[in-house]
Structure 1
């Protein structure tokens, strides 16, 4: 009997399988806009209505923007003013990635490769998914006028100057304890650096690609 109790006690001391698991994610800066790459496996089981069509992708890039500005390739001055200063509908861009992310983004963006715990990665994924309208919403998918592999769905809450793409990214990272400066929400470059530096201080994220190792010294 004592032997059985000892085995049970030992099993309780074993770490949860997910607690030791690590996830590789990617934080993307487009110059005026930020995005996050999350593993397909973290997203598809929770919203198969959204992600099963992208089976074969290893990562899904998610970012938020103003509708219709975000899904158009050409913009008028009025489009820009409305996107910044009016409260307008928001949309999430879904971009499936099949190749190795650091190769995919070499010419179009700055990318930081991040190694997180499974729990941290899941919190980021949960935040992103909660920003998307539920499957019951009529016309959930919004027509894209840009590249074919960019897809758009209705999001919440409305988009405006103080709820922009960088603010969305900032609030996402706040779910794992990384709180950024208010002013960094108005500049993707500042937000990018702020998250990396705050991550170093709190030792919450391990940045693994050489371009950003300078922040870890």
Structure 2
């Protein structure tokens, strides 16, 4: 899965590293996490590391009551959602100027939604996949965060832009502007943070850092 984040590794190390060292990372506190293991309504979501980009996979049946935006994939078992720059994300052949434009000028954003019929760990067998167990309350909060990331037209309907990158997938108009400090991985971190999981959104500039925080802070 491609994303304009493929320039981030080089640029971030030069621009951001010192800032991160100075500001540090503090863990948020929430009553939603960790989930009570004795509860039977806990949910599992999956975070997929695509190299420079991360996607969040939700069990569709569990997300449906809280997410109107998933009506396009009625038969799917899981949905993978990613957020990124409108032009770069949807372009097959990316050029350097596209990446520079996306990182240093605030640009419009899109959401990519892909339908999965198999277990995400099996589907993305060649990728790093983290499983995140959440309380029902935390899961609902995460789903609502994602749902609120879809831009709506004047009729309060989601805006379909075109076919997605693989399988049964589509692009949608998204809320928010993409730039170096608000990239695809910070969006994933904010979504995860909304569930109550103790991830610091200010320290996430790469997929690798996000996955590191998931492993470090998992209880």
What TM-score range do you get, normalising by the shorter chain?
A: 0.7 to 0.9
- More contact order relative to length (CA 8 Å, sep ≥ 6): 2
Give the aligned CA root-mean-square deviation in angstroms: 2.2
- Give the 3-state SS of the residue equivalent to 1:197 in structure 2: helix
Q: Is the 8 A contact 1:42 1:125 kept in 2?
A: no
Q: Which of the numbers 121, 127, 132 marks the counterpart of 1:102?
A: 121
**Residue correspondence of structure 1 range 25-40 to structure 2 within 5 A:** 25-40=45-60
**Alignment gaps of 5+ in structure 2:** 1-38
Instruction: State which of 185, 188, 191 in structure 2 corresponds to 1:166.
Output: 185
CA contact (8 A) 2:55 2:81 kept: yes
Equivalent residue for 2:61, pick from 32, 41, 52 = 41
8 Å Cα contact 1:180/1:195 also seen in 2? no
Q: Which of 105, 123, 148 is equivalent to 1:130? A: 148
CA distance in 2, matches of 1:100, 1:138: 30
Give structure 1 regions of 4+ aligned residues with deviation exceeding 4 angstroms: none
Distance in 1 between the 2:144 and 2:82 partners? 14
* TM-score, scaled to structure 1: 0.75
Q: Which has the larger radius of gyration?
A: 1
Q: What is the number of equivalent residue pairs in this alignment?
A: 180
2:159 is aligned, of 134, 140, 144, to 140
Q: Which has the higher helix share?
A: 1
Please report how far the alpha carbon of residue 23 of structure 1 lies from its aligned counterpart in structure 2 after TM superposition. 1.1
After superposition, residues 1-217 of structure 1 pair within 5 angstroms as 20-48=40-68, 50-107=69-126, 109-134=127-152, 136=155, 140-144=159-163, 146-175=165-194, 176-180=196-200, 182-183=202-203, 185-199=204-218, 203=219
